[in-house]
Chain A
């Protein structure tokens, strides 16, 4: 039985001007201890799904369809008070910008202990001790001294570690990391990702890593789902996806990443055009306007996810990338170590 089972999730935002179809029917399973990457451009709806699951969408957003089964219960339609018992305790989330994601007027220690005292039968003193331990685990030296510090006294990388400490405080079964490294320097990025990997093993925690950066999923995630315009258009084991990207969009993503070992004269190959406005629900595949393989069928019918190259690798495409257009062998080297 999967730990988390999402079926046909749809999320819409109702604004005065227009209705935004942010998530258009996504489904996936997550097993205990599994690492899943969700990849896509900004605005494709990847963060929205997680916010929706936890019930912390902005006021204008709503889940309009689908179910999210966690531990047997459907999170959709659950009252906020019940969801609060799950948020921060069984499912935790960390966000992109550590500079703005911490309360500037509250001490770091307090921001950690408040999660502990809310969800666990601890008192203030026990929580304080535990907070120091947590800071230690995420790699902050002299943890106990820092409990009384304020966020502005920390660097970006340290703040993200604090966020992680807050998230794992109650030993959640799932950690959702929404672009955890995007706002950080490259060297710090690597450290944070290593920390996440270590915690996944130590805590036996499932991880959903949301990012637009392919390099990030390559090093961390067993499986990857590629999202475009509110839908998953390709899912599969990460090495498989990198070696055999069957959706033209995935292929495009891979090809547009500059390679250190590329022959000097090769130009970068961006994907022409821009992602569609999520206010329109056009018939057919949403990628079709930018796709070199598009046919009339692509433009008129929405493809659903079907197995290709094996039962684990699914792609939503009428005209998957043929073998001769696949990237060369080097993709396989990016597999999870």
Chain B
């Protein structure tokens, strides 16, 4: 298995290189040319000249790319057109909020989706099964921003059970050692803040996680159905084991393999979903950052954001592949 992991790690570099090339070309293709795009339309001639120099825009393309790579490798992704802050610092400031939201959404999707799919499979053809199928189908047919709006409207605006926007109520104080609010609250033993942060997390997480939930539930159901008809489940029953043991050790353990893969594939959905969900709840994460960048034509942030998202995506996929290899004994012990 070590060989497998090493090979996947090795493949990482050409992919990252390819991504950087993609974003590089993207910047060069922006309307108005890279200089205007990265500086803003009201840039003066002096700054334009400066950036032409530093980007080497008069040099041949490969040289430009080389410079670009050097910059990216040293952590320089340029500066925001709007705020003049370095792109990397903006990204790292907003990053924890999105991660917190995505994790919460994923936890929701997994802990609700897997049992749902499993039970639906065990009671094949029953009411729960059909209901879950319908729900899954609706889940993949609904745009995440519409769902987010509906949830906000019903639970926050109309019923008032949960807050409408933000990560924390204005009246609540919290120190931020990690910028992960839930973690921060636990670390500083600030229980009012903890509850407040969780309340703010609930609606966005459900909105973001519902579509992955629908997919996870479907895959779990399908995988469980497949496994239930396998010979080794019959063997387990013939050994006189408790049904719950059979479910856990023989059925679930095998059904989880394809499910794990699918969970990994949901990252893409989560990332794009974050972009759409955060704006509905004014969640100060990478999603709103990118959205604002689009709105204000802050191409510096946009190219940095796209690159960042893509890298995260690739890394998570790698992680998923390796976990799958680890969980599946057939790959682990070649």
Contacts of B330 on A, CB cut-off 8 Å?
Answer: 104, 150, 152
Choose from B234, B242, B243, B250 the contact partner of A106 (Cβ within 8 Å).
B250
Q: A95–B327 Cα gap in the complex (Å)?
A: 27
Asked whether, in the complex, the Cβ of A88 is within 8 Å of the Cβ of B239, the reply is: yes
Residues 234-280 (chain B) with a chain A CB within 8 angstroms: 234-243, 245, 249-250, 253-254, 257
Q: A311–B63 Cα gap in the complex (Å)?
A: 99
Does B31 belong to the interface (CB within 8 Å)? no
Interface centre among B230, B241, B328 (most CB of A within 10 A): B241
Q: A115–B237 Cα gap in the complex (Å)?
A: 11
Q: A93–B232 Cα gap in the complex (Å)?
A: 12
Asked whether, in the complex, the Cβ of A87 is within 8 Å of the Cβ of B232, the reply is: no
Q: How far is the CB of B290 from chain A (nearest CB, A)?
A: 40
Q: Which residue of A lies closest to B243 (CB)?
A: A80
Contacts of B231 on A, CB cut-off 8 Å?
Answer: 95, 97, 100-101
Q: A102–B235 Cα gap in the complex (Å)?
A: 7
Asked whether, in the complex, the Cβ of B254 is within 8 Å of the Cβ of A56, the reply is: no
Asked whether, in the complex, the Cβ of B241 is within 8 Å of the Cβ of A100, the reply is: no
Contacts of A105 on B, CB cut-off 8 Å?
Answer: 253-254, 257, 327-329
Contacts of A104 on B, CB cut-off 8 Å?
Answer: 232, 254, 329-330
Q: How far is the CB of B123 from chain A (nearest CB, A)?
A: 10
Does A65 belong to the interface (CB within 8 Å)? no
Asked whether, in the complex, the Cβ of A56 is within 8 Å of the Cβ of B241, the reply is: no
Asked whether, in the complex, the Cβ of B234 is within 8 Å of the Cβ of A86, the reply is: no
Residues 208-252 (chain B) with a chain A CB within 8 angstroms: 230-232, 234-243, 245, 249-250
Asked whether, in the complex, the Cβ of A89 is within 8 Å of the Cβ of B240, the reply is: yes
Q: How far is the CB of A104 from chain B (nearest CB, A)?
A: 7
Contacts of A85 on B, CB cut-off 8 Å?
Answer: 240
Interface centre among A101, A103, A106, A149 (most CB of B within 10 A): A103
Q: How far is the CB of A55 from chain B (nearest CB, A)?
A: 8
Q: Which residue of B lies closest to A107 (CB)?
A: B329
Q: A166–B237 Cα gap in the complex (Å)?
A: 13
Does A241 belong to the interface (CB within 8 Å)? no
Q: Which residue of B lies closest to A103 (CB)?
A: B232
Contacts of B250 on A, CB cut-off 8 Å?
Answer: 103, 106
Asked whether, in the complex, the Cβ of A115 is within 8 Å of the Cβ of B235, the reply is: no
Does A31 belong to the interface (CB within 8 Å)? no
Does B333 belong to the interface (CB within 8 Å)? yes
Give the interface SS of chain B, mostly helix, strand, loop or mixed.
Answer: helix
Q: A89–B240 Cα gap in the complex (Å)?
A: 8
Does A84 belong to the interface (CB within 8 Å)? yes
Does A146 belong to the interface (CB within 8 Å)? no
Contact A150 B333, CB 8 Å, known A105-B253, A114-B249: yes
Residues 143-171 (chain A) with a chain B CB within 8 angstroms: 149-150, 152-153, 163, 166
Does A217 belong to the interface (CB within 8 Å)? no
Interface residues contributed by chain B, number (CB under 8 Å): 24
Choose from A83, A150, A152, A166 the contact partner of B239 (Cβ within 8 Å).
A166
Does A119 belong to the interface (CB within 8 Å)? yes
Contact A87 B249, CB 8 Å, known A101-B232, A103-B232: no
Contact A56 B232, CB 8 Å, known A105-B254, A150-B333, A153-B333: no
Q: A166–B238 Cα gap in the complex (Å)?
A: 11
Contacts of B245 on A, CB cut-off 8 Å?
Answer: 114, 118
Interface centre among B238, B327, B328, B329 (most CB of A within 10 A): B238
Asked whether, in the complex, the Cβ of A88 is within 8 Å of the Cβ of B240, the reply is: yes
Choose from A86, A101, A163 the contact partner of B240 (Cβ within 8 Å).
A86
What per-residue 1/0 map shows which CB atoms of A85-127 lie under 8 Å from chain B? Answer: 1111100110101001111111000000011001100000000
Q: A93–B230 Cα gap in the complex (Å)?
A: 16
Residues 62-77 (chain B) with a chain A CB within 8 angstroms: none
Asked whether, in the complex, the Cβ of B240 is within 8 Å of the Cβ of A119, the reply is: yes
Choose from B240, B257, B327 the contact partner of A87 (Cβ within 8 Å).
B240
Contact A84 B235, CB 8 Å, known A104-B329, A150-B333: no
Asked whether, in the complex, the Cβ of B238 is within 8 Å of the Cβ of A118, the reply is: no
Contacts of A80 on B, CB cut-off 8 Å?
Answer: 243
Contacts of A95 on B, CB cut-off 8 Å?
Answer: 231, 234-235, 238
Q: A150–B232 Cα gap in the complex (Å)?
A: 13
Asked whether, in the complex, the Cβ of A87 is within 8 Å of the Cβ of B237, the reply is: yes
Q: Which residue of A lies closest to B233 (CB)?
A: A103
Does A254 belong to the interface (CB within 8 Å)? no
Does A134 belong to the interface (CB within 8 Å)? no
Asked whether, in the complex, the Cβ of A92 is within 8 Å of the Cβ of B254, the reply is: no
Asked whether, in the complex, the Cβ of B333 is within 8 Å of the Cβ of A88, the reply is: no
Choose from B238, B242, B329 the contact partner of A56 (Cβ within 8 Å).
B238
Contacts of B234 on A, CB cut-off 8 Å?
Answer: 56, 95, 101
Asked whether, in the complex, the Cβ of A103 is within 8 Å of the Cβ of B239, the reply is: no
Q: A103–B248 Cα gap in the complex (Å)?
A: 12
Q: How far is the CB of A265 from chain B (nearest CB, A)?
A: 43
Does A210 belong to the interface (CB within 8 Å)? no
Contacts of A101 on B, CB cut-off 8 Å?
Answer: 231-232, 234-235
Q: A149–B330 Cα gap in the complex (Å)?
A: 11
What per-residue 1/0 map shows which CB atoms of B69-89 lie under 8 Å from chain A? Answer: 000000000000000000000
Contacts of B236 on A, CB cut-off 8 Å?
Answer: 103
Interface centre among A54, A56, A83, A119 (most CB of B within 10 A): A56
Q: Please, could you name 6 A-B residue pairs with CB atoms under 8 Å apart, sorted by A?
A: A85-B240, A88-B240, A92-B239, A104-B329, A114-B249, A150-B329
Show the binding face of A for B, using Cβ within 8 Å: 54, 56, 80, 83-89, 92-93, 95, 97, 100-106, 114-115, 118-119, 149-150, 152-153, 163, 166
Known contacts A104-B330, A115-B240, A119-B240; can you find 13 more A-B pairs with CB under 8 A?
A85-B240, A87-B239, A87-B240, A103-B249, A105-B257, A114-B241, A118-B239, A118-B242, A118-B245, A150-B333, A152-B329, A163-B235, A166-B235
